[in-house]
Structure 1
Amino acid sequence: MFPNVDWQIMMEQTWETLYMTLVAGVATFVIGLALGLILYITNESLLLKNRPIYVFVSAIVNVFRSIPFIILIILLIPFTLFLLGTMLGSTAALPALIIGAAPFYARMVELALREVDRGVIEAAESMGATKWQIIYKVLIPEALPAIVSGLTVTIVAIVGYTAMAGVVGGGGLGNLAFLEGFQRSQNDVTFVATVLILIIVFVIQFIGDRLVTKIDKRSA
């Protein structure tokens, strides 16, 4: 059915896609969570409100979140070359993947924290909790389902980013679909690569939904 598909190469490129998604996803979670917390606490009068810091961080997040990913990859080529010495391969795609996804996730974290009832924060403060205790014992646990749900959406977006990165030599299934499928008019290669990307997305969404459900049950 798929005469042009080299299954060994297809599996290798699948692992490259998974590698980029996993590494970029972990880095995005750490950086995005930190940025989201900064955005929230510097804009909340009950915590560490600091308008100049909020405006500065918010501007950075907005700039990188607004740049289309394919353009961001091109803009980051000098930085990637300086950092890694090459712009080709799955590892070389990581800086663009992380810089492209982290600001998006940061906004989702900020929105998740804003959904926490302000009365819960006031209650914790009245009981003598410090600012940092409120953050890691009240805010994060209360917002955890939304934080995990936002991470799932972001990782799914990262899978899409890896496909776009493949167009400029980033490796993975996107690179295979473009070079072997599109440029050589081998539609079966493009089809199989697309199906594998869809399977990855479905698995990520399933795992994310199950985690959110478990967290909701524990907090209920």
Structure 2
Amino acid sequence: MFEVITAFLNQWGDEIAEAIIATIQMVVIALGISIVIGLPLGILLVLTRPGKSLENKYFFLFLNTLINTIRSIPFIILLFFILPFTKLIAGTTIGVQGVIVPLVVSCSPYIARLMESALLEVDRGVIEAYEAMGIKPRSIIWHVLVREARPGIILGLTIATISLIGETAMAGLVGAGGLGDLAYRFGHLRYEVDVMYVTVFILIIMVQSIQTFGNRMSARMKKG
């Protein structure tokens, strides 16, 4: 058994290591940019909806429709649909650099919805108490609304991260690199079933680890 594992690692170890690094790069970069875009969008969805402090039905309708439209497009279709836009922004449509744009376009609206759900769960009475004390809206947003919603936000980002991992696997179809590309090129096209099994196992470990970490962080925020 040990000899089989050693032989496999000697043959595929470098490729698997490179694929893991590429997947992590795609997830980390895309998630970071998506948070920068998605969190403000989620806040705007909450504040501009009817009955909220910055109520604006036209802006809310536009933003709500835009987010729903993007989210309704399956990632694999979006990947090919925005290839010209990706080429314009990233300068390429292949590799890690070439897949960041579609990942961000797909993930940002998703994070916005998750943030919206988390923020709407904040007790309205807590917000009203700070408003009664004359606290400025900007301070209430960042120091009350977002702070109180931290457990839900963390769980939402955990879900988004796991979703991104799945999307990076699909991005392998356009030569984006990563574990999905490795599984497709060798596990599927060349019938190297061992590579496929190992790739799936690594993805399972990554997802389980992220979900466990997110759950623990959320629980810690609730206690804090």
Give the alignment's TM-score, normalised by structure 2.
0.93
Q: Between Structure 1 and Structure 2, how many residues are aligned?
A: 218
Asked whether 1:45 is paired with 2:54, we answer no
Describe how 1:52-67 pairs up with structure 2 within 5 A.
Answer: 52-67=58-73
Q: CA deviation at 1:45?
A: 3.0
Q: CA deviation at 1:44?
A: 5.2
For residues 1-28 of structure 1, give each alpha carbon's deviation from its aligned partner in whole angstroms, at most 9, with x where no partner exists.
4666511111001100011011111112
Q: Give the CA RMSD over aligned residues.
A: 1.3
Q: CA deviation at 1:85?
A: 2.4
Q: CA deviation at 1:209?
A: 1.4
Q: Which moved more, 1:41-50 or 1:28-37?
A: 41-50
Gaps of 5+ in 1: none
Contact 2:50 / 2:57 at 8 angstroms: preserved in 1?
Answer: no
Describe how 1:133-144 pairs up with structure 2 within 5 A.
Answer: 133-144=139-150
Q: Output the CA distance in 2 between the equivalents of 1:101 and 1:198.
A: 20
Q: Output the CA distance in 1 between the equivalents of 2:220 and 2:150.
A: 11
What one-letter code is carried by the residue in structure 2 that aligns with 1:129?
I
What one-letter code is carried by the residue in structure 2 that aligns with 1:105?
I
Asked whether 1:177 is paired with 2:200, we answer no
> What's 2:168 paired with?
162
Contact 2:86 / 2:92 at 8 angstroms: preserved in 1?
Answer: yes
Q: Output the CA distance in 1 between the equivalents of 2:52 and 2:124.
A: 9
Q: Output the CA distance in 2 between the equivalents of 1:130 and 1:104.
A: 29
Q: Output the CA distance in 2 between the equivalents of 1:113 and 1:84.
A: 33
SS in 2 for 1:6: helix
Contact 2:45 / 2:63 at 8 angstroms: preserved in 1?
Answer: yes
> What's 1:87 paired with?
93
Describe how 1:58-207 pairs up with structure 2 within 5 A.
Answer: 58-207=64-213
Q: CA deviation at 1:77?
A: 0.7
For residues 108-138 of structure 1, give each alpha carbon's deviation from its aligned partner in whole angstroms, at most 9, with x where no partner exists.
1111111111111211111111211211121
Q: CA deviation at 1:76?
A: 1.3
What one-letter code is carried by the residue in structure 1 that aligns with 2:98?
A
For residues 141-180 of structure 1, give each alpha carbon's deviation from its aligned partner in whole angstroms, at most 9, with x where no partner exists.
1111001100000000000000000112111010010011
Q: Output the CA distance in 1 between the equivalents of 2:36 and 2:201.
A: 30
Q: Output the CA distance in 2 between the equivalents of 1:86 and 1:136.
A: 37
Q: Which has the higher contact order (CA 8 A, sep 6+)?
A: 1
Q: Output the CA distance in 2 between the equivalents of 1:89 and 1:67.
A: 22
> What's 1:13 paired with?
19
- Deviating beyond 2 angstroms after TM superposition, the runs of 4 or more aligned structure 1 residues are 1-5
Gaps of 5+ in 2: none
SS in 2 for 1:43: coil
Q: Output the CA distance in 2 between the equivalents of 1:52 and 1:134.
A: 24
Percent identity over the alignment?
Answer: 39
Q: CA deviation at 1:46?
A: 4.2
